[in-house]
Amino acid sequence: MGKVLFVVLLTAATGVGGLALGGCLAALLKRHSHRGTALLLSFTGGLMLCVVSLDMVPEAAEAAKGMLWLVPLFLVIGFAVTWLLNCWIDKSAHHEVEGDPHHCACGRHDLHTAGIVLAAAVALHNVPVGMAVGATVAVKGICWAAALAAVTIGLHNLPEGMSIAVPLIHDGSRTVSAIAVAALSGVPTVVGALAGYFVGGRTSAALAGAMALAGGAMLYVVFFELLPEAADQWRSKWTILTTVVGFALGVALVLGLEH
């Protein structure tokens, strides 16, 4: 029972807490500046792209072992599922094209929709990363490896929480509501951790598929929501440079935590 409580508290602190803290940071940095929003969104896009490329996909490939075809397949599935989710949210929010109520423009939308779509994608992403923490505890017990994995989640969740809250706040949502949406996106981390703990890391193929699925979802958010929205807010080479800086910081975090 002690291990289960450890898993719940650890992933709640880094999953829910990390996203909530990121939302709070976004609120502190709140200002009505298209340039500030563009730079923050592009920075987060670069950081997320690094996490997918250097963290999630390699972990999925390692878990897949002899079934490497699972990784590209579920990357595409994750991308497609998020696209369909975007269409559903768009329709629910009544973003129909004028004169054609049956048409669903499943592309880039306003900041509020971008924030909600991102929150859903982050929630999806948090299930498999939570499973990784739970499986580590199941195999090794209460150890530094599990704590380090959870800290990594928390570090990743800081910019993700900011990226969820920033578009919501700038679209007029209350600060408390934006932070709450960011925090709720971390709840699946706890659910995934419990699932990973009870599975005990014995379903490596399923874990590989889940990681790749979440990676595809995050790629959709980066390339179809964050970066295009940043370009709409401020068309400048500085947004591209900020994306590179975000990617570089992600490299430093991923490689630094691995060593």
Token pair in block for residue 90: 């768009």
Domain region containing 79: 2-258
pLDDT in tens, 130-178: 776 777 777 667 766 667 677 767 766 777 787 788 778 776 778 888 8
Please state, in angstroms and rounded to a whole number, the distance separating the CA atoms of residues 112 and 99. Answer: 23
The closest alpha carbon to 212, from 71, 88, 6, belongs to 71
Q: Please state the domain count of the chain.
A: 1
Give the model's confidence band at 36: pLDDT under 50 very low, under 70 low, under 90 confident, else very high.
Answer: confident
Please state, in angstroms and rounded to a whole number, the distance separating the CA atoms of residues 20 and 177. Answer: 11
Contacts of 53 (CB under 8 A, 6+ apart): none
Q: Are 75 and 208 in contact (CB under 8 A)?
A: no
- The per-residue pLDDT for 76 is 94
pLDDT in tens, 192-248: 888 877 765 566 777 778 778 778 877 887 898 778 888 888 888 999 999 999 899
Phi, psi of 234 (to 5 degrees): -155, 110
Q: How many CB atoms within 10 Å of residue 92?
A: 10
| Average pLDDT value for the chain | 77
Q: Are 161 and 29 in contact (CB under 8 A)?
A: no
Please state, in angstroms and rounded to a whole number, the distance separating the CA atoms of residues 19 and 164. Answer: 9
Angle at which helices 2-11 and 187-199 pack, to 10 degrees? 150
Give the model's confidence band at 101: pLDDT under 50 very low, under 70 low, under 90 confident, else very high.
Answer: very low
Give the model's confidence band at 30: pLDDT under 50 very low, under 70 low, under 90 confident, else very high.
Answer: low
Q: Are 232 and 113 in contact (CB under 8 A)?
A: no
Residue type (1 letter), 191: V
Q: Residue 29: is its pLDDT beyond 50?
A: yes
